[in-house]
Structure 1
Amino acid sequence: MDWIPPNIIEAMRGSHQLGIFLRVDTDPVLRVWFGVNDIPAGFDSIDPDGTVYVGGGKLIGVPTLEVLVNGTADSVDFTVSGVDPQTGAKMLDSIPDIRGAAVQMGLTTLDDYFQPMGAVVPIWAGTASHVNEASEAAQGESSPTLTLALSVVTGESTRSRPARVLWSDAMQKSLSPTDDFCKQVQRLARGVQPVWPNY
């Protein structure tokens, strides 16, 4: 079973260009890739038919992507900077409701014409939290610019909902019906010290 197509694996072994894609499940869906031109692409198993991804400009830095561990994970900010105030105001007015929207980030290799060599492979998923905007004072004759950021969290936590401190057996069973790992958690919450197996 090939999770990643052989031609993509072969391209990754040598010199290659990576395309990094961001999909936010709003209404309508926001599709951005970190490059210059708009290109057709599709997320493997998420958006198989594909559509046009809007070029978001050159990617300066990729934020550290973390997964949910022990009920905690940091938020991640995807940032666009250098936006003039008028364009930024239009962007903020036209943004659909993003709170709670699923966010997927994926990548694929690009060919010599900067076109995707295959479907985008999803590598990280999160939940949209909120949009930030910041503006620095213009220096000298330079024009003022805005920095817009989309905050995304992993797991089920957002800034208004703190991370869970107790993972119950029912929650674990919903993910893995045969897993008894969390069977004694309720007793721990009541202050009972269960006897754990000694191997």
Structure 2
Amino acid sequence: MGWFPDTVIAAMRKSHMLGIFLRIDTDPALHIYFGVNDIPARFESVDPDGVVYIGGGRLVGLPVLQNLIGGTADSVDITLSGIDPATASDVLASIPPVRGATVQVGMMTLDDYYQPMGPIVPVWRGTASHVSKARQAVFGVSQPSITLALSVVAGTLTRSRATRTLWSDAQQKAISPTDDFCKQVQRLSYGIAPVWPNY
């Protein structure tokens, strides 16, 4: 027996519905299930008595699980979109501080009644960094909506500013004085397409 019980593995070999669960260790803790209905579930080794996971709707903004589990993503944004502005304001005003809170993603197969077939198995753990919101432009008779995002890092170090994305020629020359690899980088940052040498 590995991560999953033998009964679950047998169900996965046929056809299955996979439930993705998110737990944020704020005070009080937030429990979200990426589906429509609220589900009572138990997160193995975290919520031994079980809690109700709130249905967060269709899974859209959680990055590919393979990137999370395989360690190829050092940070992720978990998003909820389509929220009306008044509700989004209420949510932002009422959420507890998230910075530094443990974020756990788990999964479990669901039975024919959309209930977990066993305890939720944790598959990824991160640290919450910050919450952000975005509002798309509205055209015609469309209703305005807000997208809320929670940035989560794969380690324990959080940052509220993006990492440096421009490596300048001066920085490269400080490391290797004869290296001209970054010579045209400044022009790229201004949107100019430099002429690269043709070897």
- The TM tier, using the shorter chain, reads 0.7 to 0.9
Residue 68 of structure 1, CA deviation:
9.5
**Within 5 Å, which residues of 2 pair with 1:82-101?**
82-101=82-101
Residue 116 (structure 1) aligns with: 116
1:5 equivalent in structure 2: 5
* Residue 96 to residue 89, structure 1, CA distance change in 2 (3 Å): same
Q: How many residues align?
A: 161
Alpha-carbon shift at residue 87 of structure 1 (Å): 0.5
C-alpha distance in structure 2 between counterparts of 1:145 and 1:61, whole Å: 15
Q: Are 1:67 and 1:154, in contact at CA under 8 Å, matched by a contact in 2?
A: no
Following superposition of structure 1 onto structure 2, how do residues 1-199 of structure 1 map, counting pairs within 5 Å?
3-60=3-60, 62-64=62-64, 65-66=67-68, 74-159=74-159
What whole-Å deviation, never above 9, does each CA across 1:76-107 have from its counterpart, x for those lacking one?
A: 00100000000000010111000000000000
AA partner of residue 87 (structure 1)? T
Pair 36,68 (structure 1): closer, same or farther in 2 beyond 3 Å: closer
Q: Distance in 2 between matches of 1:125 and 1:20?
A: 14
Q: Which residue identity is paired with 1:146?
A: I
State the Cα deviation string for residues 151-197 of structure 1 (Å, max 9, x = none).
0001122115999xxxxxxxxxxxxxxxxxxxxxxxxxxxxxxxxxx
How well do the aligned residues superpose, as a CA RMSD in angstroms? 2.2
Q: What is the CA–CA distance in structure 1 between the aligned matches of 2:27 and 2:79, rounded to whole Å?
A: 21
Amino acid at match of 2:38: D
CA distance in 2, matches of 1:10, 1:60: 27
Q: Distance in 2 between matches of 1:19 and 1:56?
A: 12
- Deviations 1:101-159 (Å, cap 9, x if unpaired)? 00000000000111111000000000000001000111100110000011000112211
Return the alpha-carbon distance in structure 2 between the equivalents of residues 155 and 113 of structure 1.
Answer: 36
Identity rate of aligned residues, in percent?
A: 61
For 1:31 and 1:125, how far apart are their aligned partners in 2? Answer: 14
Helix, strand or coil for the counterpart of 2:92? helix
Structure 2 counterpart of 1:52, which letter?
V
Gaps of 5+ in 2: 164-199
Cα pair 2:129 2:160 within 8 Å, conserved: no
1: distance between equivalents of 2:77 and 2:3?
Answer: 28
Structure 1 segments (4+ residues) deviating >4 Å: 160-163
